[in-house]
Structure 1
Amino acid sequence: MSDRRICIQSSYIAPGVLLNLSMEDRKYLFNVMRCSHGDLISVTDGRGKSFKAKIINKATIEIIHEEELFTEDDFSIVLCQGILKGEKMETVIQKATELGVKKIVPFISERCVIRNTTKLERWKKIAKEATEQSGRSIIPEISDVINFSDLIKHIDNGIIFWEKERLPLIQSIHEINHKNSLFLLIGPEGGFSSEEVKQASEKGLKVASLGKRILRAETASIVSVGIVSFLMQNYDIIKK
């Protein structure tokens, strides 16, 4: 049986503390995870700490002790995603969380079909659920929606993916700063315009390709995070 894990974003979690469960957390533990009174579970605070806890009753758990959890990378990937239609955005948030991103920044660019959204709380819920499912100790932060032009003003260590670029991704990995957060920019369904790519390049972002084929936006997001995460994890080997 997989580890029974739940994320509780409480301001104070420590051994001996009794925590009240929300209705949502109760449903997850007892209906989804099939837990019972007296069972031991793992609790993460969503900020990097993990604890062993005991279920006292259907409304309360008791924190027993802190435990070590090694599911977080020592580098930080921030996924900047052009807002996608329908459930595509939810899929990207779910999979990016499973792959270890520390933050997700939804943005509006020239070719975005959706120009505004009220789904921020829904996206945060998806990130929390994906954190629990994947055994992470950190729930990725999901920021407010921002315009592309404002986004690139605040990035000094990033890669923007463009289907017309010929520079391979691995070359960009050699050129970025591995000690600072790495921002990955993926466009909406229509991709980035050439002007947006030019603006990003002028701001110092690296322009890279994910290969010879044109990928769907949601596929590009998942693939880019997966590949970059792998390259970062094995950079000491690759750079040789």
Structure 2
Amino acid sequence: MHLFFTPDLQSTDKTYTLSEEESKHCARVLRLGQGDAVTLVDGRGGLYQAEIAEANPKKTKLSILQHQADYGKRDYRIHVAVAPTKNMDRMEWFVEKAVEMGIDEITFLQCARSERKALNLDRIEKIAVSAMKQSMKAYMPTLNQLTRYSDFLKQAVDGQKFIAHLVEGQERHSLAKSISGQDTYTILIGPEGDFSPEEVEQALEAGYKPVTLGQRRLRTETAALAACHTIHVLLDV
């Protein structure tokens, strides 16, 4: 199955022209031609069956044959807000695996102990698109720019809110035992040096519940993925 990302495709469209990047992949890399069947995803839950009307490495034209809405839609949402690691390869790995697993939103946090002060969101978006296509997902997660921790806490967040931290002297409960029902879940994951005690207190004051991801000490990207996986295991039944 050959799958292409078509973010501006509408459910009522009968024809569509692939972007130059996707056209090149279609016509030159995959060597697809007129009459070949392809599958399209719009990143908003739409899955389309189409046929190549004209193969061109710059403008491949398609005929839309069938549309399916809400493909793979879940009754719960996952939002992971994580401080990016100093080694960006590790954070890109998290994005790739989280998209494959299924995630709705990722926010990158700038915390007191963060070592990374900037990131290339365009590159991260390309990694997310690739993972979405390879795992046959029809939903593209929302990817938010690097956001100051204090500013993020001021944002209105729906559903249940958690902060996973290792600060001693703070009572924490298992995330697995804190999940309850189909809802929106927001989980804060700190930098490699963890959240500061002050940041934990700020989160608690903002209504976040302190949780643990288990007895083992996890790296930032592992913790973020473990949180995502825990929710899926409990609710994806």
If the length of structure 2 is used for normalisation, what is the TM-score? 0.87
SS in 2 for 1:145: strand
| Cα distance change on mapping 1:116 and 1:72 into 2, 3 Å | same
SS in 2 for 1:201: helix
Matched, 1:172 2:178: yes
Corresponding letter in the other structure for 1:170: A
Pairwise CA distance, 1:29: 3.0
Q: Which residue of 1 aligns with 2:26?
A: 29
Q: Which residue of 2 aligns with 1:67?
A: 68
The counterpart of 1:191, out of the listed 194, 218, 228, is 194
Q: Please say which of residues 21-30 and 208-217 is displaced more in the overlay.
A: 21-30
The counterpart of 1:42, out of the listed 39, 46, 49, is 39
For each residue in 1:114-166, what CA deviation from the matched residue of structure 2 results, as whole angstroms up to 9, or x when unmatched?
1123x011111111111111111111111122111111122353111113464
RMSD: 2.1
Pairwise CA distance, 1:204: 1.0
Q: Which residue of 1 aligns with 2:110?
A: 108
Q: Which residue of 2 aligns with 1:20?
A: 17
Counterparts of 1:90-101 in structure 2, within 5 Å, are: 90-101=92-103
Matched, 1:51 2:48: yes
- Paired residues in the alignment total 227
Q: Which residue of 1 aligns with 2:217?
A: 214
The counterpart of 1:233, out of the listed 208, 231, 236, is 236
In the aligned structure 1, how far is the partner of 2:228 from the partner of 2:19?
32
Corresponding letter in the other structure for 1:47: R
For each residue in 1:45-90, what CA deviation from the matched residue of structure 2 results, as whole angstroms up to 9, or x when unmatched?
1111111111121322221121366423221111111122221121
| Cα distance change on mapping 1:132 and 1:211 into 2, 3 Å | same
In the aligned structure 1, how far is the partner of 2:105 from the partner of 2:30?
27
Unaligned runs of 5+ in 1: 235-240
Pairwise CA distance, 1:171: 2.6
| Cα distance change on mapping 1:93 and 1:14 into 2, 3 Å | same
For each residue in 1:157-182, what CA deviation from the matched residue of structure 2 results, as whole angstroms up to 9, or x when unmatched?
311111346421123213xx743x21
Corresponding letter in the other structure for 1:10: D
In the aligned structure 1, how far is the partner of 2:134 from the partner of 2:122?
19
Tell me if the contact between 1:94 and 1:126 (Cα under 8 Å) persists in the aligned partners: yes
If the length of structure 1 is used for normalisation, what is the TM-score? 0.86
Q: What fraction of aligned residue pairs are identical, expressed as a percent?
A: 31
Matched, 1:7 2:8: no
Tell me if the contact between 1:15 and 1:64 (Cα under 8 Å) persists in the aligned partners: no
Tell me if the contact between 1:102 and 1:140 (Cα under 8 Å) persists in the aligned partners: yes
Q: Please say which of residues 81-90 and 162-171 is displaced more in the overlay.
A: 162-171
| Cα distance change on mapping 1:135 and 1:32 into 2, 3 Å | farther
In the aligned structure 2, how far is the partner of 1:124 from the partner of 1:73?
22
Pairwise CA distance, 1:210: 0.9
SS in 1 for 2:173: coil
Matched, 1:162 2:160: no
Corresponding letter in the other structure for 2:44: R
Pairwise CA distance, 1:31: 5.5
